[in-house]
Amino acid sequence: MHKVIALAGGVGGAKLVFGLSKILKPQELSVVVNTADDDMFHGLHVSPDVDTVMYALAGLTNKTTGWGIEGDTFITLSALQRLGEDTWFQLGDLDLATHIKRTSMLNNGKSLTEATQNLSKSLGILHDVIPMSDDPVKTIAITETEELDFQDYFVRQKCEPVIKGVRFDGINTAKPSQQFIDNMSQSEAIIICPSNPVVSIPPIIELPGIKELISNHPGKTIGVSPIVSKQALKGPAAKMMRELQEDVSSIGVAKRYVGICDWFVIDKADSEEAGAIEKLGMNVHITSTIMNSSEDKISLANEVVNLIKN
């Protein structure tokens, strides 16, 4: 098996990445992660999707939420609240150590890629976790009344506002990280993880030059649908697609990846959608895509990797 590059957002992407890491050696898998929902809290640089992927690979993930660290406490957050700080963004005590270390490295001139490499190594992660860019890109949720930073929309307002659009500030001037470019050129296949097709995968793909690199890639590009039975397995993807007047289905997700994916993996509950997806120019693989257990994650990873091999 040669090199595979996985493009991932947060919880859904991290689940498949965990499975892939159990069947692919470190030299066979690298993961490029969305950084457009990075934000500053209490003076600290927080990279939610990068951290979710790192914690998954390190075996630290809170199994109940799918994000954060298992067994984490929130003593510092409570103290900050007592001091009058706004604490709507949940940062656990163990999690804070990650953000303190990252921010310290960034303040000392390290790039986000270098900081992520250092953190990954410290957590015992063997596979490469690569931020999509060292340049700032910021997801903005455009609602009927205002424009919101993504974490404000996603966490503070619990995705309640109706969105009219999404914008990625800085996307046109941001450069893909050099490690991203290098891994793309070395990879035999690209996997688009089952992450939010509105706000998690698009920032990665819309970085200058990346869509062309994927479209012209000589190997297979395999997308995995995060929508099953018209619902998002995790997060606000279905709500966002509906409000953007898009088809909330695996077909709707596949439409976003036309010209990019050769294969599209959907759940067996949506097998009747296969024909419409094939008409978009993709091969369809039908399997179980719901990942509740470690075994589920590894099983889906095996299905995807077998598509690459065959």
**Cα(177)–Cα(186) distance, rounded to whole angstroms?**
15
Q: What is the pLDDT of residues 137-179, one digit of tens each?
A: 999 999 999 999 999 999 999 999 999 999 999 999 999 999 9
Residue 148 lies in a domain: no
Structure-token match 């869509």, residue found? 211
Number of structural domains (the chain) is 1
Confidence of residue 232 (pLDDT cuts 50, 70, 90): confident
pLDDT at 127 exceeding the cut of 80: yes
What is the maximum span of the chain, computed from C-alpha positions, in angstroms? Answer: 59
Residue 146 lies in a domain: no
Q: What is the pLDDT of residues 4-19, one digit of tens each?
A: 999 999 899 999 999 9
**Cα(167)–Cα(144) distance, rounded to whole angstroms?**
14
Q: What is the pLDDT of residues 257-289, one digit of tens each?
A: 999 999 999 999 999 999 999 999 999 999 999
Instruction: Print the domain residue range for 20.
Output: 4-136+172-309
Q: What is the pLDDT of residues 207-227, one digit of tens each?
A: 999 999 999 999 999 999 999
pLDDT at 1 exceeding the cut of 60: no
Mean pLDDT of 242-264: 96
Q: Which helix (H) or strand (E) element contains residue 129?
A: strand 128-131
Residue 147 lies in a domain: no
Confidence of residue 309 (pLDDT cuts 50, 70, 90): confident
Mean pLDDT of 28-41: 98
**Cα(66)–Cα(226) distance, rounded to whole angstroms?**
15
pLDDT value at position 134?
Answer: 98
pLDDT value at position 233?
Answer: 79
Residue 161 lies in a domain: no
pLDDT at 104 exceeding the cut of 90: yes
**Cα(62)–Cα(168) distance, rounded to whole angstroms?**
29
Residue 197 lies in a domain: yes
pLDDT value at position 100?
Answer: 99
pLDDT value at position 148?
Answer: 96
- What count of other Cβ atoms lies within 10 Å of the Cβ of residue 21? 24
Residue 286 lies in a domain: yes
Mean pLDDT of 219-237: 92
pLDDT at 65 exceeding the cut of 90: no
**Cα(296)–Cα(29) distance, rounded to whole angstroms?**
19
CATH number for position 250:
3.40.50.10680
Residue 206 lies in a domain: yes
Residue 119 lies in a domain: yes
Mean pLDDT of 48-57: 98
pLDDT value at position 2?
Answer: 63
